[in-house]
Chains A and B, each alone.
Chain A
């Protein structure tokens, strides 16, 4: 597998007009590259524009300046080659787990048999085997997010984008989901961009950490390669050294 860049962001800047009269600059001159099947973590404090950056890569927003290239082609809108996992799950409450996961293949006109096979495969992959007929309101937060991940995966995207997916979960569930994410990713490798404000999560999950600094507008800060073998230990010496390094370098408590 060639090691060229899967995703390139060139000098992305983004402005919004809020409440009809305030112009807000959310991102300032962000450039980054992501390699094929790499797990990149975007780390930053709240309000640094991380979600906006992810949405620009996803194609849901257009950058005010700069552009995003996926496989060398400029991103012009949302597409099924990128999958997005939302912070607030965004499951369809009127569909069951199966209904949610199979939506992507359904929209692409896949045959019933194929669709069912793929849907079941990903439901099993995220560990929700016996919950196919449950509705989202019957599931816990962690389970809902697993449905979200399965739904994004089932559409077979080349890139998975995760927007602070575990932000609404309690600490225990969060640790569990981090382990699960690593397991799922290692089973079916994709290029992943994962956004978080939690430094432990970033070091646990990522191959590289791309940190944004400061409040609006978010600017590039540092890139930290994480060379640790998986599965990682939160209490490992090297883990803690890297954690210390990152915390020192940033001006906010992480």
Chain B
């Protein structure tokens, strides 16, 4: 699909082939400038102590990251902490998705089930999952179950919404196709509902995943002894900004990798979806 992005491309090529302005305005050059500026400003802020002693220089953070990979923190290596957080996400995500997706499908297929479940869901929906942390701790204590519970809540809402809408918005004539070919209601569900709703369900899973990340971090900040959120909290309590920033860097990298994996998975599972705009 042509877009403004292409427009800009075409304009650039029509100009004179070589000049200083071209280089200055080329996208990659600007990226490079911007990245360098980012690190320079960071370094400056840290050195000149604008924010008090609350900033660590990029170099210090790099050193800290290196140390984290070899020395244990609060009893676990860096990968141990990454795994602790990831484990919570995986379990909570699996439970939440396994409960919400079929429920959403059922609600969309059966008006009576929808009439029973939807009002309750609409009551729960406006409350952010993080608001449940306190009551989860009251119920489950400060161990793993309370954290997994929050992630389940955080996963449940987007998954249900997406699978419900995914089925609801299927073109009804697709069902007609199956009926005309001699299929029954079961065939309709198997051959139309599931595949047609799949992209929406998958989108719901993606949203749930990023929601799960926020939830696990919040839960870890409140009460945890392991995990990436815990690391950043530790940095705060020990007044070690390098540790805080190091933890944030690790969080960013892990989140980025997970997103990449999931997007890649989508390309494999849904080859029929056309890409829209890439950002």
The answer to whether A and B touch in the complex, with CB atoms under 8 Å apart, is yes
Binding site for B on A (CB under 8 A): 58-60, 77-80, 82-84, 86, 88, 90, 92-95, 103-104, 107-108, 135-137, 151-152, 155
**Residues of chain A with a CB closer than 8 A to B178's CB:** 103, 107
**Which residue of the partner chain, among B177, B191, B192, B274, contacts A86 with CB atoms under 8 Å?**
B177
Interface residues of B (CB under 8 A from A): 171, 173-174, 176-183, 187, 191-192, 195-196, 198, 270-272, 274
- CB-CB under 8 A from A151, the residues of chain B are 177, 181
A residues in contact with B183, CB < 8 Å: 107
- Contacts A94-B272, A135-B272 given; indicate if A103 touches B181 (C-beta within 8 A): yes
Tell me, rounded to whole Å, the shortest Cβ–Cβ distance linking A215 to chain B.
Answer: 23
Do the beta carbons of B195 and A80 come within 8 Å of each other? no
A155 in contact with B181 given A135-B272, A137-B274 (CB within 8 Å): yes
Q: Are A136 and B179 in contact (CB under 8 A)?
A: no
A103 cross-chain contacts in B, Cβ below 8 A: 177-178, 181, 191
- Secondary structure at the A interface, as helix, strand, loop or mixed, is loop
Give chain B residues whose Cβ lies under 8 Å from the Cβ of A58: 176, 180
Of the listed residues B179, B195, B274, the one surrounded by the most CB atoms of chain A closer than 10 A to its CB is B179
- Tell me the complex Cα distance, A104–B183, Å: 8
Given A90-B171, A94-B195; A137-B180 close (CB under 8 Å): no
* A151 and B196 alpha carbons, distance in the complex (Å): 18
| Contact A80:B272 (CB < 8 A) given known A90-B177, A92-B195 | no
Q: Are A107 and B198 in contact (CB under 8 A)?
A: no
B181 touches A90 (CB 8 A): no
Would you call B180 and A83 a contact (CB within 8 A)? yes
Name 18 interchain pairs, CB-CB below 8 A, sorted by A.
Answer: A58-B176, A58-B180, A60-B176, A60-B180, A78-B176, A78-B180, A79-B182, A80-B181, A90-B171, A92-B174, A92-B191, A92-B192, A94-B270, A107-B178, A107-B182, A107-B183, A137-B272, A152-B180
Contacts of B198 in A (CB 8 A): 94
Chain A proximity of B149: nearest CB distance (Å): 35
B176 touches A90 (CB 8 A): yes
Write out the residue numbers on chain A whose beta carbons fall within 8 Å of the beta carbon of B180: 58, 60, 78-80, 82-84, 152
Q: How far is the CA of A79 from the CA of B198 in the complex (A)?
A: 27
Contacts of A152 in B (CB 8 A): 180
A135 surroundings in chain B (CB, below 8 A): 271-272
- Assuming A60-B180, A78-B179, A137-B272, is B171 touching A107 (CB within 8 A)? no
Q: Which A residue sits closest to B191, measured CB to CB? A: A103
A83 CB contacts on chain B under 8 angstroms: 180-181
Contact of A136 among B173, B176, B177, B272 (CB under 8 A): B272
Query: Complex: how many Å from CA A59 to CA B192?
Result: 19
Pick the most buried of A92, A135, A151: most chain B CB atoms within 10 A of its CB: A92
